[in-house]
Structure formats: structure tokens, C-alpha cells
């Protein structure tokens, strides 16, 4: 159990260091004022900007209806705006978020049925349903990227040895 806690703390420290060492940030504090040349694009986790999240929620709402997953779109919109309000958005920001949401929603909803089906087909129906369930439960944060390799229990337990303490 102690090694699991140390792995979790190492992962947290690595993510903090990764966030502080991105190419777009000034890293002169870390390297004594000498920053090296950029080595090209670095793959990072996608964190939606405040303008991307309303469009994503609206996309899932419209496409869920296109896939035949019934839900109350107005209630989902209200829950999302409540979420943004709880995160500390000002009234001006909330009105902009609502405009972004409504614009994205109507842009997709106004497409013809075949165009909407084609547009929504960019995301698998099961993924749309899973996102819709997350949103209906009030969780609007972006999903964290999963590991490119699958879970392997032998890697997890490798090197652990018998640490039961004689039991």
C-alpha cells in the first residue's frame, strides 16, 4: 500500500513538473535564464479552453439526440451553466459561455438529418452516450487521457517481491 501511495505522489509530481515545463511557458527560472531551442511539438493532454467546453457539451447533446439517446437538452444546458457558475464564472463570462453553447448547438441542430448524421459520425455512438451520462451526472471536466498501452498486472506487481512481513 505504501508503494501505491509513492507511485501516486510521483505521478502527481511529474504532472506538476510537466505543466511547469511546457514549451509555451518561460522556463528561465528553472534553467538559470538559459532556455534551449524548441525541440518541436510535444504531445500533451488536451485541456479544453473555456470556449471549447461549451461547444463540446453542445455537440454531445445534439449528437445524443441524433443517435436516439433521449435527454432533456434544456436541462443539460442549465446544468452546464450551473457548473460554470460554480467554477467562478462571472455574469459576463456566463453570458458568453451561453452564447457559445447556443451557437454550437444550433449550428449542428440546424443541419439536415443526413448532414447531422455525418457530422455526428465523427464520434462513436457509445462514446457519445458515455459522455452524455457524465454530463447528466454533472461532471463536465475533460476526460484524462488513458495510457496508450493496456493494463498489465504483471508489470504492476513486478519487483514487489514478498513484502508481507512473514504472514
Half-sphere exposure of 42 (CA within 13 A, CB side): 11
The tens digit of pLDDT for each residue in 10-24 reads 444 444 434 444 444
Q: What is the pTM of this model?
A: 0.57
CB 41 within 8 A of CB 32: no
The tens digit of pLDDT for each residue in 65-120 reads 888 998 999 999 999 999 999 999 899 999 999 999 999 999 988 888 888 888 88
- Residue 16: its pLDDT value, please? 41
Burial class (CB in 10 A: 0-12, 13-18, 19+), 140: buried
Distance CA 111, CA 117 (A): 9
Close Cβ partners of 64 (under 8 Å, ≥ 6 residues apart)? 71, 128, 129, 132
The tens digit of pLDDT for each residue in 28-53 reads 443 444 444 444 443 333 444 556 89
Grid cell 479544453 is found at 48
Grid cell 519487483 is found at 159
- Residue 36: its pLDDT value, please? 45
- Residue 150: its pLDDT value, please? 66
DSSP readout, 19-46? HHT-TTS--TTTTTT--PPP-S------
- Residue 134: its pLDDT value, please? 93
- Residue 32: its pLDDT value, please? 46
Q: Compute how many other C-beta atoms are within 10 angstroms of the C-beta atom of residue 118.
A: 11
Q: Which residue has the higher pLDDT, 106 or 26?
A: 106
The tens digit of pLDDT for each residue in 115-159 reads 888 888 888 889 999 999 999 999 888 776 665 666 666 776 676
Q: Which residue has the higher pLDDT, 160 or 82?
A: 82
How far is the CA of 34 from the CAs of 5, 19, 21, 27, 29, in angstroms? 35, 19, 13, 8, 9
Amino acid at each position: 500500500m505504501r508503494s501505491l501511495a509513492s507511485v501516486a505522489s510521483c505521478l502527481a509530481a511529474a504532472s506538476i513538473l510537466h505543466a511547469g515545463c511546457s514549451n509555451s511557458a518561460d522556463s528561465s527560472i528553472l534553467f538559470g535564464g538559459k532556455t534551449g531551442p524548441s525541440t518541436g511539438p510535444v504531445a500533451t493532454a488536451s485541456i479544453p479552453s473555456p470556449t471549447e467546453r461549451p461547444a463540446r457539451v453542445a455537440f454531445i447533446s445534439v449528437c445524443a439526440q441524433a443517435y436516439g439517446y433521449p435527454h432533456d437538452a434544456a436541462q443539460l444546458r442549465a446544468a452546464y451553466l450551473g457548473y460554470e457558475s460554480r467554477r467562478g464564472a462571472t455574469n459576463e463570462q456566463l453570458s458568453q459561455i451561453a452564447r457559445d453553447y447556443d451557437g454550437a448547438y444550433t449550428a449542428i441542430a440546424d443541419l439536415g438529418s443526413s448532414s447531422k448524421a455525418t457530422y455526428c459520425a465523427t464520434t462513436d455512438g457509445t462514446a457519445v452516450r458515455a459522455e452524455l451520462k457524465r454530463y447528466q451526472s454533472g461532471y463536465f471536466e475533460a476526460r484524462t487521457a488513458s495510457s496508450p498501452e493496456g493494463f498489465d498486472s504483471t508489470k504492476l506487481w513486478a519487483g514487489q517481491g514478498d513484502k508481507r512481513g512473514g504472514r
